[in-house]
Structure 1
Amino acid sequence: MKWSRTRSAKFFAVGAAAALLLTACGGDSDEGEGTEPDADAPATDEEITLTITTFNQFGYEALYEQYMEENPNITIEATAIDTGGNARTDTFTKIAAGSGLTDIVALEEGWLGAIMEVSDQFADLRDFGIEDRKSDWLEWKYNQATDPEGRVIGYGTDIGPEGICYRPDLFEAAGLPSERDAVADYLEGDWAHYFDVGREYQAATGKAWYDHSGFIWNGIVNQMDEGYYTADGELNVEDNADMRDSFDLVAEAVADGLSAGQAVWDWNGGQSFVDGTFATFVCPGWMLGVVEGQVQTGAEAAGVDPASVVWDFADVFPGGAANWGGSFLAVSETSEHKEAAAALASWLTEPEQQLVAFEAAGAFPSTVEAADTLAAEATPRATFNNAPAGQILASRAQGIQAQFKGPDDSVIQENVFGPALQQLDDGSLDGPGAWDAAIALLNELVVNN
């Protein structure tokens, strides 16, 4: 089931409809069935409406229906914004205006540093018992949502361990290994090796290896011990020799024709996932749902059966373990129903519900119990050639180190390096010119702002 990611949707509990939604969004898995709302949920017969804003695909649609069915006095109104960047803009615009935040607000890891500067806009979840659940989460995930004053402002949803999505038919046509274990072995190595394999592919087919350089660059930066900021919170870009060397590596790959130069978050209406425009794609867990949606949309536009477009998912990522993304559910201080909102946010992030969200959207759990379940169960994911996506992501999660994210981390990725990399991809700038353009934007948007 797919909801428009740019519209508001009111969900009303109807028993039969809820059952259908659970089947449509959760697949055939029985994970999460029979789960009950948090026992600590406030006991009240007052009819209330709870509002929640998320972004991308959280996989919550069936869970909203389930919660309302089991709590008939509660109506959930859900808004899903198309991207994390737009959600950041929406959140900070409403904070600046002093009104408009929904009861529950999804916060993305990349802009959590900026949120910490206004963390008093969100409730301290210790007041609603989150410390009783502390051991549910990976320790670093729980700590990420703790502000400098010790207030905990977010229930952890997912994390973003990364693997490589690829087209096995395109690999086979290029004479490369196509079976996922063999692909994982073949791609094992650093980013230079990944690009070298891409050159093999490009030489054999004349086609691009990956969609665009922005996501590639994001993966590289997230693997660094310190990214755009040092662990002490200082900017770490302009004189960062390792970062510049990595940028030059990407520029060489672009010069050799490995990038398809796609617009960020726009793959020709999904058709580029269908027509062979590129062969590999960086895939944190939450991106699996994005790929599925793009394949569905692109296939329909091209007039082909979506089932005929086969992607796969390999247990490998250039350079080793990396985390991209992961979110939290916060309760706004302006909410008139903080206790009820906290109860809903807590329930949505319990292990059973995290498993349902994974089945629906690929959001890999941040709770230890749910992650262990996926590590032990090789449930096939049909869109990805029946790859055991949960098991693969559990493997990719091993060794992840949480990187410090500064207040303008997402701005630097999206608005500083994003435009520069797009110009690199489209050929309007070479490597040195694109780096200089990024530094100019850094000074304009961050340093001097």
Structure 2
Amino acid sequence: MRRLGFIAAAGTVSALALSACAPAASGGDAGGEYDPEAKVELTITTFGTFGYDELYKEYMELHPNVTIKAKNIDTGGNAKTDLVTKLGAGGKGVSDIVAIEEGWLGEIMNVSDMFVDLRDYGIEDRRADWVDWKYEQATDAEGRVLGYGTDIGPTGLCYNKEAFEAAGFPTDREEVAKKLEGDWAHYFEVGQEYVEASGGKAWFDHGGFVWNSIVNQQEEGYYTKDGELNIEDNADLRENFDLLASAIEGGQSAAQEAWNWNEGKSFVDGTFATMVCPGWMLGNVKGKLEQAGATPETSTWDFADVFPGGAGNWGGAWLSIPETSQKKDAAAALADWLTQPEQQVKQSAAAGNFPSTLEAQETLASEATPNEWFNGSPTGAILASRAEGVVAQFKGPKDSEIQEKVFGPALQVLDTGEGDADAAWDKALGLLKEIVK
């Protein structure tokens, strides 16, 4: 769960605004030499389920002179809107540290000079900490590094054990993995089997998340590697769209509202049986289970080491420092600490996401800690397995908007039964012309 098409949505960034945020002299906060012992208040904005609350407390205990004022925005899309609006106003009100989501990092690259080059704060010394493509993703065309990598998004399959059992399906996660091993066509074949065996219940929550996972597995998604739009005449993309449309028409989608799932009730009443789950999604599922009144003891969900079509990455984030920050050194120290392997392990325990540092990945794989919300499944170890072979896809400037505002509404046409695959695809292409001009 990146270019500057986004700024247009919030108002054009004028040359004056950009120059007002031009990079300061490297290494050092505005207003004088950095004093690591001086009292400082740092602001940080994240989104979704980041798992940082206890880490903030720990950092303030280790650094009594630092006060952290944290803001968490509910979704990555809303966080993008918040950041874009503030950047469009010349950076006024932007936090000292902001979390940047994988889906819109490309837009940020179009205004990379509004963010600190972290090479000035020693990030090159840590380059080997991360999987190589994570570091490279946050490096702009001039070689400036804009973000400390937090998590990545290897993806497994969440499934409702109770729903599987009622349909006569295996419930042991290893047996589930064997049954579902294969491509997306096989996943939908098993899904149709489930719909029939369950008396018409849905196989997955809604078409949007499934589609995003399918697109992320393509060698090239909504954009080619050269940054060209890659949708209208993309035969492979259309073939996959038709495959998903057929599954939806067969009753496999529960037509859920993204990020809501009937206020979590759909996770406890058997509305759907499976769900695509990148690591960070586990925290969302846990939160919705809690909202619906479930406990670890009553949760019927599990997590299997399998995913249709093989390895795939969905999401991930970075911590970046805007040039408007007057506390760059202190902000860099905090962002660096939050993304160290030891802290990434703790973040994973709190949020369920999967770290981008190699040492933290190895720790999770070796510890195989049971996740009480997913039937004791060793989610960290499973995600380490799912991460093998993962390389993030190039995301173009309007990638997140295309997913949300083009294919989101188009797939609703299918989910709600308002049209067939042709009607939904035509709607997508029409919306595409409005979004990408």
What TM-score comes out, normalization by structure 1 length? 0.88
Which residue in 1 is equivalent to 2:162?
169
| Equivalent residue runs for 1:164-203 within 5 Å | 164-203=157-196
Aligned partners of 1:222, 1:356: CA distance in 2, in Å? 27
Tell me the residue number matched to 1:31: none
Q: How many equivalent residue pairs?
A: 402
What CA distance in whole angstroms lies between the structure 2 residues aligned with 1:44 and 1:182?
A: 54
Query: 2:380: which partner in 1?
Result: 390
Does the alignment pair 1:160 with 2:153? yes
- How far did residue 43 of structure 1 move? 4.8
CA distance in 2, matches of 1:379, 1:401: 25
Say if 1:263 and 1:422, in contact at 8 Å, map to a contact too: no
Offset of residue 305 of structure 1: 5.3
Give the one of 184, 199, 207 matched to 1:213.
207
The amino acid of 2:301's aligned partner reads W
2:322 is the alignment partner of 1:332: yes
User: Which residue of structure 1 lines up, in the alignment, with residue 415 of structure 2?
Assistant: 425
Task: Please say if 1:145 is aligned against 2:145.
Answer: no
Deviation for aligned residue 1:236: 0.2
1:231 to 181, 202, 225: 225
Matched residue of 1:105: which SS? strand
Residue 69 of structure 1 corresponds to 61
1:375 deviates by 1.3
2: CA distance between counterparts of 1:296 and 1:109?
A: 27
Tell me what 2:291 maps to. 297
Does the alignment pair 1:121 with 2:117?
no
Asked if residue 435 in structure 1 is aligned to residue 425 in structure 2, the reply is yes
Counterpart amino acid of residue 282 in structure 1: V
Return the alpha-carbon distance in structure 2 between the equivalents of residues 101 and 224 of structure 1. Answer: 34
Specify every segment of 5 or more residues in structure 1 that has no aligned partner in the other structure, as ranges. 1-41
% identical aligned pairs? 64
- The alignment status of 1:85 with 2:77, answered yes or no, reads yes
**Matched-pair contact (CA < 8 Å) for 1:162–1:317:** yes
8 A Cα contact 1:109 1:326, kept in partner: yes
Superposed CA deviations along residues 222-253 of structure 1, whole A, max 9, x for unmatched, are 00000000000000000000000000001000
Alignment of 1:354-433 (within 5 A): 354-433=344-423
Letter matched to residue 102 of structure 1:
S
Structure 2 counterpart of 1:268:
262
Deviations 1:19-62 (A, max 9, x none): xxxxxxxxxxxxxxxxxxxxxxx653321110000000110000
Give the letter aligned to residue 357 of structure 1: Q
CA contact (8 A) 2:299 2:374 kept: no
Deviations 1:376-429 (CA, angstroms, capped at 9, x unpaired): 121100000000001100000001122111010001001110111112101112
Report the secondary structure of 1:279's partner residue: strand
Aligned residue for 1:209, secondary structure, equals strand
Q: Tell me, yes or no, if structure 1 residue 318 matches structure 2 residue 308.
A: yes
Matched with 2:123 is 130
* Match of residue 87, structure 2, among 95, 103, 108: 95
CA distance in 1, matches of 2:36, 2:166: 62
Contact 1:157 1:327 survives alignment (8 Å): yes
Give the aligned residue type for 2:179: Y
1:44 counterpart (8, 31, 36): 36
Cα distance in structure 1, aligned partners of 2:128 and 2:296 = 41
Corresponding residue for residue 249 of structure 2: 255
Alignment-derived partner of residue 58 in structure 1:
50
Give the 4+ runs in structure 1 shifted more than 6 A: none
Letter in 1 for 2:416: D
What residue identity is the alignment partner of 1:327?
Answer: A
Q: Which amino acid aligns with 2:138?
A: A
Whole-angstrom distance in 2 between the partners of 1:148 and 1:44 = 32
Distance 2:407 2:424 in 1: 9
Q: Give the 3-state SS of the residue equivalent to 1:234 in structure 2.
A: coil
Contact 1:52–1:103 (Cα < 8 Å) also in 2: yes
Any conservation in 1 of the 2:263–2:291 contact (CA below 8 Å)? yes
Question: TM-score when scaled to structure 2?
Answer: 0.91
State whether residues 374 and 391 of structure 1, in contact with CA within 8 Å, keep that contact through their aligned partners in structure 2. Answer: yes
Q: Deviations for 1:72-123, whole angstroms, at most 9, x for unmatched residues?
A: 1110001111111111111111100111110000000110111100111110
In structure 2, relative to structure 1, the CA distance for the partners of 1:432 and 1:391 (3 Å cut) is: same
Distance 2:361 2:345 in 1: 8
The one-letter code matched in structure 1 to 2:39 is E
Letter matched to residue 308 of structure 1:
T
Establish whether residue 243 from structure 1 lines up as the match of residue 237 from structure 2.
yes
Mapped partners of 2:229, 2:429: distance in 1: 12
C-alpha distance in 1, partners of 2:296/2:317?
Answer: 30
1:54/1:79 contact within 8 Å kept: yes
Work out the CA distance in 1 between the residues paired with 2:169 and 2:61.
Answer: 50
Find the aligned partners of 1:209 and 1:354 in 2 and give their Cα distance: 33
CA spacing shift, 1:196–1:51, aligned 2, 3 Å: same
CA-based RMSD of the aligned residues comes to 0.9
Aligned partners of 2:295 and 2:373 also within 8 Å: no
Conserved? CA contact 1:219–1:324, under 8 Å: yes
Shift of 1:306: 5.7
For 2:320 and 2:343, the matched residues in 1 are separated by: 17
Distance (Å, rounded) in 1 between the aligned partners of 2:35 and 2:49: 30
